[in-house]
Amino acid sequence: MASRSAASHGAVDVFAAKDGKVLLVQVKSGKARATKEELEELVRWGKNANGDAEVWYYKGRDEVVKRRVYAGKRGGA
């Protein structure tokens, strides 16, 4: 399952889940950068969902830089 929040101003723009794995993504484009507060909130979401949290920076038509800011725990921890 995947969903996106169009024109989102929240911590998560895209989320995806499959086979017990969760991915939360904040998307930035152009010169926009995630603030410290946005990163902290995205990490909180990742911890609460036990999922991976990433920021994707679209730098141009064909270039995406993905930065993982939190890695969810795997297994029975």
Which tens digits make up the pLDDT trace of 3-49?
887 666 788 999 999 999 999 999 998 888 999 999 999 999 999 99
- Residue 15 CB coordination number (10 Å): 18
Q: What burial letters (b/e) apply to 27-54, b meaning 16+ CB within 10 Å? A: bbeeeeebeeebbebbeebbeebebbbb
Asked whether 6 and 33 are in contact (CB, 8 A), the reply is no
- Write down the pLDDT at residue 7: 66
Q: Is the pLDDT of residue 76 over 60?
A: no
Q: For tokens 């939190």, what's the residue?
A: 70
**pLDDT reported for residue 23:** 96
What residue spans define the domains of the chain?
9-30+39-53+64-77
Give residue 65's pLDDT. 94
